[in-house]
Structure formats: C-alpha cells, structure tokens
Homo-oligomer: A and B are copies of this chain.
Amino acid sequence: MKVGILGATGYTGIELIRILSKHANAKISYLSSKHFESQLISEVYPGLSGFCDEILEGDDFNKVVAICDIIFSTLPHELTFEIGKMVIDAGKKLIDLGPAFRFDDFNVFKKWYGSNGDIEYDKFNKVYGLTELNRKKIKNAQIVGNPGCYPTSVILALAPVLKNRVVVDKNIIIDSKSGVSGAGHEPKFSNLYSECNENTKPYNVAQHRHIPEIEQELSKIMEQDVKVVFTPHLVPMTRGILSTIYCNLESGITLKDVYDLYQEFYKNDYFIKILKPGKYPSTKSVTGSNFCQIGFEIDERTNTLIILSAIDNLMKGASGQAVQNMNLMFELPENKGLDIIRIFP
C-alpha cells in the first residue's frame, strides 16, 4: 500500500519514515517538506540513507491523494482540514498527527486552538485514534485523529480505574514530564540546547491544549463529566514521557486488586505492559519502542492511588501509534512493523 507523509522532516515525520521504511506492507511514495523541498530526505537526515532516499516535494495535495492509499499529516490544522476533505472525496485514508480531528465537538477545538473559521466538522468520517480503546471504530474510519502524546500516556493509565469506578472522579491530578522532542523541530529560544540542558521547567500549567482531549475521552470512559488538573514539564532528555497520576481511591481496594484489574483490562493488548507491584515505569525502558509501561502504588495513609505510565512520545505518543492505527485500518496485525525492542542504555 502506498503511503504519503505531509510534513516529513519534523520529528514525527522522520519517525514515521523510520518505521515505515521497514514495514513489509507499506511503500513510502510521497514526502513533503516546507523547509527542505527538493532535497533528498537522506541528505537532510543522512542516517536514512539506503532506507529511504525519496525526494522531498511541496504540499501538492492533489498529487498525494492521487498517488497514495493512506496519508499521514503533520501539517497545521487549516491545511489538515483541506486535505481531509479531499481524502474523504477520493475514498482514501488519512491519519492526522495534529489536533484537527481529535474532537467530538468543534466548539471545543475552536476554543482551545483559537480557530475562527467554520467547517462541517461532523461530516468527516473520523475517529479518535487511541488504538487500545477504539479499535472497532478505527478499523472503519477514513480519518483518524491520532492522539496527543500526553493524552496517550494519561488515558491509557486511567481507563481501567475509571471504567471500573474504583477511583473517585474528583481531584484527578496529572503531572507529566516530557522530553524536548515533544516541543517539535522549530528553532525557537525555548528549545535551544543551552536553555533545556540541566533544566526542569513547567509550562502551560493548567492551560495546556491537551486538557480538553484528555477530559473528552475520560468522560466517555466514565460516562460522566470528568475534570482533571494537568501540569506538563520539560525535562532534559530527547525522548519520553512519564506521567504521574494521583486519584482518590474508593475504600477497600488493595494494590493486588488494582494490578489484577489492569491485567484483565489490557490482557489482549500487545503494547501495554502492566508492571508488578513494587516495579515502576521509566522512560528509558520504552525508548524507541511502541510500548506503554504502567505501574502503580497505593499511599495507604491517604488512600491515594498513584498511577505511573511511560511512553516514547514519538512512538506510542505519535508515529508508532499512527502506524498501529494504519495496521488496523488495513486489516494487518497491529504490531506489524512495530515489533521493535526499546534501545537501552
């Protein structure tokens, strides 16, 4: 099947190339780049030489839709809506790694992303692409709104306890730590090596755009309105997200109960690794892989459940999950091309 990537030279773009170059069923057939148009991708990223030597083209939507069976987009949302319409019309498929298609309610998108225009948002045959929770819908969708990196780490960690109502819906605190690649490939002061190295810093406290995405999905899981407090932090590493989540536990629940509940909930999910009591996730245990590690602890003194989850933000948090969704959409085994062991140390 022929694959196109719009915005191929950002970090999620080249991670898609890393995966898809070795995917037996995919053939990379179109790559676009604003910054590096008309260069070879393997000149911009010499480590891809021999694996992917395509030329980088401009954003020619007609061409990519004509050529490709499936398109991955990392473009700004205005352009994504445009390519979305063309994909629908042409009967092709689109996985968007941006926020454009993640929402049920267009007003929520407009409020948090400052968009003014109006579009027929409901007419897109689209689905929120958190694979483990939405498999059936993803299989039949034309457009997948691939989840944000933080929401992936958070929703996977909370789904079992919210679904089973072993925690209270109040006071859910999410404290996330992300590597700097999550801030993207754009040159700006705050992403410079000398600013980030040896530095831990919070940002967008209680205001991050991933909040509505998290709350939308958690509310559906719990079948009631869920609110969360969310603080993202940048830590000095390239890849990885660790989310530490605090909830008030219903009374009488033991650590063993929680462990069993997670094991049961994710028993058929290849990419979810539930850690035994006493073991905690770490970002380095998943670097370069599509796995999500989940562990927990109960603070009995306060009856608080502390859930810990680790993903590679560019893999399960972006490009890896996108390919996982592609596999579903084309009826391939979910881990096809994704059965990659973490790199350690």
Contacts and interface: CB of A to CB of B under 8 A. Distances in A.
Interface of A: 11, 14, 18, 21-22, 45-51, 171, 173, 175, 177, 179-181, 185, 187-189, 191-203, 205-207, 227-229, 231, 233, 235-240, 242, 244, 246, 248, 270, 273, 275, 279-289, 291, 293, 297-299, 301-302, 304, 306, 308, 310, 339, 341-345
Contact of A308 (B14, B202, B238, B273): B202
Given A185-B192, A283-B200, A304-B229, A341 B237 contact: no
Contact of A341 (B21, B207, B235): B21
A229 to B, nearest CB: 5
Stoichiometry, copies per complex: 4
Given A192-B192, A248-B171, A344-B45, A236 B233 contact: no
Nearest to A177: B200
24 contacts: A11-B194, A47-B285, A47-B291, A49-B273, A50-B270, A50-B273, A51-B341, A173-B173, A173-B246, A177-B233, A177-B235, A179-B194, A191-B192, A197-B197, A197-B236, A197-B238, A198-B283, A199-B284, A201-B282, A201-B284, A205-B299, A205-B306, A207-B297, A246-B246
Given A48-B341, A202-B280, A227 B302 contact: yes
Contacts of A188: 187
Nearest to A205: B297
Contacts of A236: 193, 197, 235-237
Contacts of A343: 18, 287-288, 343
A332 B344 CA distance: 26
